[in-house]
């Protein structure tokens, strides 16, 4: 593609030599002949320092915020290279979101993934092939591409949107993380609908957000990028997330007046799963049955219904999609050869753990057993809070490893126990996660609900900078085979 076409998206029409651009790159290790390299500033690395290396690799254009040494390449200065990357990436891939595929964005502290997959289930039930970009990865049909971030870099977002459109997807549901919004990964294209689930403390400190105000302001950016915003009117932060919005606003709620309301949330138990039913009124009127338990998932269902209503999706597709929705690693049932329930969930902090365990407690299990750990190189307060939450809400906690990263797992467990010992909760510590999972399978009793928390959709354990294969579904199957047991398929 000609450089002039790409620069037109930035409003630059002169001051450069025309050339053909073969690709765009923001990592100098991926720079190649004829590419345009973008110097991005990060918390630890400044891409301006690698402009020369990119030029040596053949980059013909360097996009930078300050003069750089890049022999053989022309340097184009812009105010913000992240913004430039977003706009030029959209142009490079033919602006897929401006006619070829409609994008629905979902932001919030919790519920992004579940809501995104609920929306996808409804759209697919209506006959529309739909892709997903989010925590679990990039889903196109049955193909799942693993990604490092909930919201990939803008270049990759545009690349995936183009691939989805070319493969016949009419819609893409995208998790718009606060970091992704802050770093302009979703800048430069229209969202047909933006969804706000909820807001609570998370992602504060380190390389994330400096405080809650910044965290909220980043989430609010979605509502200046979308045409219609569908927001949770029950959440205390809804006014903050709409500050500066430019979209039409639609609301959903369980406790307050709204365009779409839910009531009568109740448990739904059928062979093979725990679920819920909720009566929907307002812009849609029907009873939604959802194959995922929990009041918070009633909110997620309302969000999905609200978004799909704005897209003109028929009610029957909403009913069918919600009844069939399954989300990998989100209260995901795993078949076991016993009269107990085994679930996998991504809950990895106190808020998500409290929501999960409170919900499961409502199903009146004989015992509620939770296996969990905590991530290394993260604020210790999260560990204290998780320990305390599980100690209060579970009958038994099995404390083990998660992604210990560059910390000793025993040190992490010691931090969890600081919170656990504030409670009367019973616990055992088994540092090896595989061994801990086997212990749970051996000690589960009829009527128990057992939750393996923290990994969810992840298929690895990160230890000392290395990601080791560790898909809990595979591990469970292996552990059962070692014990001569066959899981019940329901």
CA distance 254 to 198: 13
Please answer whether residues 7 and 13 qualify as being in contact, where contact means their C-beta atoms are separated by less than 8 angstroms: yes
Can you tell me the distance from the alpha carbon of 176 to that of 183, in angstroms, rounded to the nearest whole number?
11
Q: Are 195 and 216 in contact (CB under 8 A)?
A: no
Distance CA 446, CA 324 (A): 27
List C-alpha distances in Å: 175 to 111, 148, 181, 183.
Answer: 10, 13, 10, 14
Backbone angles phi, psi at 108, to 5 degrees: 145, 165
At 452, is the secondary structure helix, strand, or coil?
Answer: strand
DSSP assignment, residue 30? G
**Do residues 186 and 157 lie in contact, with contact meaning Cβ atoms separated by under 8 Å?**
yes
Annotated binding site for ATP: 108-114
For residue 60, report the phi and psi dihedrals to the nearest 5 degrees: -95, -15
Report the binding-site residues. Answer: 28, 108-114, 149-151, 177, 185
The CA R_g of the chain, rounded to the nearest whole Å, is 24
Q: What is the 3-state secondary structure (H, E, C) of 282-296?
A: ECCCEEEEECCCCHH
Q: Give CA 68 to chain center in angstroms.
A: 36
């Amino acid at each position: 593609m000609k450089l002039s076409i790409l620069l037109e998206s930035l409003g630059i029409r002169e001051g450069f030599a025309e050339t053909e651009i073969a690709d765009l790159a923001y990592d100098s290790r991926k720079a190649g002949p004829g590419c345009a390299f973008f110097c991005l500033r990060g918390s630890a690395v400044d891409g301006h320092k690698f402009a020369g290396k990119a030029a040596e690799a053949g980059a013909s254009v360097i996009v930078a915020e300050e003069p750089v040494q890049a022999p053989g390449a022309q340097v184009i200065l812009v105010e913000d290279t992240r913004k430039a990357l977003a706009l030029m990436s959209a142009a490079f891939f033919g602006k897929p979101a401006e006619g070829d595929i409609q994008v629905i964005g979902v932001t919030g502290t919790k519920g992004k993934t579940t809501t995104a997959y609920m929306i996808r289930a409804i759209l697919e039930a209506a006959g529309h092939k739909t892709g997903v970009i989010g925590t679990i990865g990039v889903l196109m049909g049955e193909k799942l591409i693993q990604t490092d971030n909930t919201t990939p870099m803008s270049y990759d977002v545009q690349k995936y949107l183009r691939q989805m459109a070319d493969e016949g997807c009419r819609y893409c549901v995208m998790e718009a993380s606060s970091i992704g919004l802050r770093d302009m990964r979703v800048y430069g294209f229209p969202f047909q609908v933006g969804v706000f689930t909820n807001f609570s403390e998370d992602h504060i400190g380190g390389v994330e957000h400096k405080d809650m105000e910044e965290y909220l302001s980043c989430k609010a950016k979605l509502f200046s990028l979308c045409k219609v915003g569908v927001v949770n009117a029950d959440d205390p932060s809804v006014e903050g997330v709409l500050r500066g919005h430019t979209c039409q606003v639609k609301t959903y709620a369980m406790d307050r007046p709204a365009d779409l309301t839910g009531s009568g949330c109740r448990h739904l138990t059928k062979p093979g799963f725990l679920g819920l039913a909720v009566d929907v009124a307002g812009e849609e009127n029907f009873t939604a049955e959802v194959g995922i338990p929990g009041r918070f998932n009633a909110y997620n269902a309302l969000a999905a219904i609200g978004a799909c209503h704005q897209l003109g999706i028929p009610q029957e597709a909403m009913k069918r999609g919600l009844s069939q929705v399954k989300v990998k690693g989100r209260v995901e049932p795993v078949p076991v050869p016993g009269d107990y329930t085994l679930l996998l969930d991504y809950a990895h902090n106190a808020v998500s753990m409290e929501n999960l365990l409170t919900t499961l407690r409502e199903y009146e299990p004989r015992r509620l057993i939770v296996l969990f750990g905590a991530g290394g190189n993260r604020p210790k307060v999260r560990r204290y809070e998780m320990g305390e939450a599980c100690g209060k809400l579970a009958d038994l906690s099995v404390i083990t490893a998660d992604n210990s990263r560059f910390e000793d797992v025993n040190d992490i467990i010691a931090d969890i126990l600081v919170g656990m010992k504030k409670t009367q909760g019973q616990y055992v510590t088994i540092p090896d996660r595989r061994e801990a999972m086997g212990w749970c399978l051996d000690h589960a009793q009829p009527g128990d609900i057992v939750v393996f928390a923290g990994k969810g959709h992840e298929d690895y354990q990160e230890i000392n900078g290395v990601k080791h294969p560790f898909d809990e579904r595979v591990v469970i199957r292996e552990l059962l085979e070692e014990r001569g047991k066959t899981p019940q398929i329901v």
